[in-house]
Chain A
Amino acid sequence: MEIKTRIIGKYFSAFLLFLFSATKVFAQISPGNLTYYHAKYEGLSNCTLCHVLGKQIENSRCLSCHTEINSLISQDKGYHASPEVKNKDCWSCHGEHHGRDFRIINFNPKEFDHEVTGFKLDGKHSRIDCIECHRSKFISNPELKERKSTYLGLDKNCITCHEDPHQNTLGTNCSSCHNTEKFKPAANFDHNKTNFILTGAHEKVECSKCHITEKRNRQDFQKFVGLQFSNCTPCHRDVHQKKFGENCKKCHTDVSFKLIKTNSFDHDLTNYPLRGLHVEVSCKNCHGKDLNSRPKHDECVDCHRDYHKGQFTKNNIVTDCSKCHTVEGFKLTTYTIEMHNKTEFELTGSHLAVSCKSCHYAVDSWQFEKIGLKCIDCHKNVHGTELTNQFLPDNKCTVCHSIEGWQKISFDHDKTKFKLLGKHLTVECRACHYTKTHGGLSEGLRRRLAKARSCGEESIFRSLNSDCETCHKDVHYGQFAKGKITDCQRCHGFENWTTTTFDHNRTSFHLTGAHKKLGCVKCHKVVTVNGNTFVKYKLENFKCESCHSS
């Protein structure tokens, strides 16, 4: 029995030895395996790498190895320098002895408040995976770069992760122009804070129009600095080829190149200085609505309508308006009488006083061509058919009238059938020929003239009879008529009405005796017949008692 007990005791002692040896090999004082990251520090001799005797664990031990964290804390940067972490014990977040696979960095990307690191995630940063930024290629620190996964080593500068398309020409403060939502457009950029404030059309133009993309360092490079903008020509072509100097703004605005500062634009610098009414004319009238027209200006018709509709165009050669007109006004003309006199129709006499319009304006337009050279081309033949070709040959008024004046007539009445004699030589033509003459006219003439007037004729010639009664009133009321015609010349002459060639002795009653001495009225009494009062010269009988009473 005791022997067996001893045997069992031996086996048990061996078992205990095994346990001790196993303890040395496998089990340690360590309360558990270190994580993968600290696995190399397993072993009794390494406890004090982290632990401080009598003081559990002190941060200084952790930070003596994790110098990168220590450095960040001392620089007050990063998550470990944030208020919520800074005064905490390392072990309160980073436990150990929980096995190889223990997440010593208990990081939940979905719950992590990135703002505590000093870099708030907003915009697109808030939507992308951590690995998009926290990757080796963005880390500059060689030691950190070698780590399989780390959230350290990134700088807050954008260029840490992003390429600088501006190739370091605009500094490193990307956020002054860009936000984290989109690189383009540069939402934070305010061009008005630059030295070139965008106004007018510049506000609407695409950036790339001015900030052209070129190749620099074999990469596309959009130029934002170093642009010359003291004047416009670095970007805009000088269509005037420096003719107007380099200060485009003197004439143009940035609203539109075509919008000209008309007040300040000096047209005299052009080939066509503005004079006269051109000064007042709107630019658009010549240069079009958009002022993009560069009109010819050699001839007036380059801008102006040929008011005369080609009347001065001969052999396709346009006579320039300036020959007759000036820029002071179209109605004013420089066309002189002398110039007119060089034409086929020389202006003389009254024509000198006549306005141009009188001859050259017909109906509603000016006529300068083929208006005729004859009087009748301008003047109305007021005589109508009263003048035969004998007295108005080829409608040539000057046969009778003078250009000096219509009233000035040089007509030889003797060429007519009615030679003017005596008093007729002193009588005005109108007294007999003018239809509006009334006084002293015979009844027949009065009717004739009335008829002519009704036909629009002012004067009558051909239709005017040579009978005295045509013009004169028969004061004898037909007492001496033969037939229906009374020939006044039988008794009266042209010199004077009262002068008579009447010889009483050639009548049926010869004056003799006392009759010779008697006044006419002794025998020829004034009578009134049919309302007409006249001296009755034609007595019915010559009996004595007819005159003498018994």
Chain B
Amino acid sequence: MNKKLHAIYIGLFIFVGVTSTLLLAIDGYQYYTTPLVNRFFNPQDSLLNPSGLIGHGLGIVGSLMMIVGVAIYMIRKRVRAFLHWGYLKNWLELHIFLCTLGPIFVLFHTAFKFGGIVAVSFWSMTAVVLSGVIGRFIYVQIPRTIQGQMIGIEELNGINQQLSKRLREEFSVNENLISKIEEASRFAKPQKENLRNSISFMLKDSIRIRRILKNIKKESKAASVPSKEIREIQNTAKSKMILARRVRLLSTMQRFFRHWHIVHLPFAILMFFIMFIHIAVAIVFGYRWIF
């Protein structure tokens, strides 16, 4: 998948996700903001309540999206036969899309009414989604190949040198600035940090990178470097500095990622477990939507 196709791929996800969410939110705003005890009397209740035509449909579609989203990603990731079915990154993006929009649909299915055993499922789902977001963040912090395989520290060092070379050779950056960038992206040994220190470091490092990038822009402008080139210098410098940060936090993030798995998957299992109970109960009691 080339870059443009990927952009359409992602853009489509975002468009569908945002549009669906907005439409549901806008259309149901009046209903969903009605106090629970009064919703029954709302004219939209027959459509939007969890057993309503739309509400029930959202539950079914959302559940299916989550089931599909989890299933295809796990299958792609864990079944050997599918290891070469596209880039794992793209499957992950599909997984994220389906497992983001699915819970949103389920959220509207619940009509923001959280109670009973299914609430456990819901909150599990919420936990899965939130942990997914966090996991995605941690996942990004760990440099990988496009196939999703982790990159070692030596390889990272090579990438860093390539970036330095590019700065020197491709752009007209003065030595002073290069030395500042090099200083800021100096490879440190991966260190074991706890969660608090890691977050603190990341925040401080982000501020530092922003300051340096600002400085690069300022000096490049002073040196009459074209704007386009300035942006490329900034991007290269940023990649270099972020790479350095990730190297420093690599072992920490790898450790967090292992722990994250412990949370993300059981919540997903719990969610599905209760969700199936919920679906089974609904079907047993005759709530079969349009079927």
Contacts and interface: CB of A to CB of B under 8 A. Distances in A.
A102 B37 contact: yes
B117 A28 contact: yes
A27 B40 contact: no
Contact of B36 (A27, A52, A55, A98): A98
Contacts of A23: 117, 120, 274
Contacts of B113: 31-32
A53 interface: yes
Nearest to A54: B286
A30 interface: yes
B266 A16 contact: yes
A67 interface: no
A98 B259 contact: no
A12 interface: yes
A48 to B, nearest CB: 9
Is the contact region of chain B dominated by helix, strand, or loop, or is it mixed?
A: helix
A118 interface: no
Given A19-B270, A54-B284, A32 B116 contact: yes
B201 interface: no
A249 interface: no
Contacts of B118: 29, 31
A5 B115 contact: no
A56 B287 contact: yes
Which of A27, A101, A106 is packed against the most chain B CB atoms within 10 Å? A27
Contacts of B263: 12
A53 B287 CA distance: 10
A29 B277 contact: yes
A31 B37 contact: no
A51 B117 CA distance: 18
Contact of A27 (B39, B116, B284): B116
A19 B116 CA distance: 12
B40 A102 contact: yes
Interface string A1-42: 100010011001000100100110001111111000000000
B225 interface: no
A47 B116 CA distance: 13
B37 A99 contact: yes
B68 interface: no
Nearest to B277: A29
Given A8-B259, A98-B37, A31 B120 contact: no
B188 interface: no
Interface in A139-158: none
B174 to A, nearest CB: 45
A101 B37 contact: yes
Nearest to B281: A29
B285 A47 contact: yes
A51 B283 CA distance: 12
Contact of B286 (A56, A95, A103): A56
A103 B120 contact: no
Contact of A53 (B120, B270, B286): B286
A103 B37 contact: yes
Given A5-B258, A12-B266, A106 B41 contact: yes
A118 B116 CA distance: 41
B218 interface: no
B50 interface: yes
Contacts of A99: 36-37
Contact of B40 (A8, A30, A47, A95): A95
Which of A98, A101, A106 is packed against the most chain B CB atoms within 10 Å? A98
Given A19-B270, A54-B286, A27 B277 contact: no
Interface string B252-291: 0001001100110010001000100110010011110000
Nearest to A24: B117
Nearest to A94: B40
A27 B36 CA distance: 18
B156 interface: no
Interface in A44-62: 47, 51-56
Contacts of A47: 285
Q: Considering the complex of A and B, which 6 residue pairs feature the smallest CB-CB distances, nearest first?
A: A95-B40, A56-B286, A54-B286, A27-B117, A102-B37, A55-B286
Given A8-B262, A29-B277, 9 more contacts: A8-B259, A9-B262, A27-B116, A28-B117, A32-B36, A47-B285, A56-B286, A98-B36, A98-B40
Interface of B: 36-37, 39-41, 50, 113, 115-120, 255, 258-259, 262-263, 266, 270, 274, 277-278, 281, 284-287
21 contacts: A5-B259, A5-B262, A16-B266, A19-B120, A23-B117, A23-B120, A28-B116, A29-B116, A29-B117, A29-B278, A31-B113, A31-B115, A31-B116, A31-B118, A32-B113, A32-B115, A53-B284, A56-B287, A101-B37, A103-B41, A106-B41
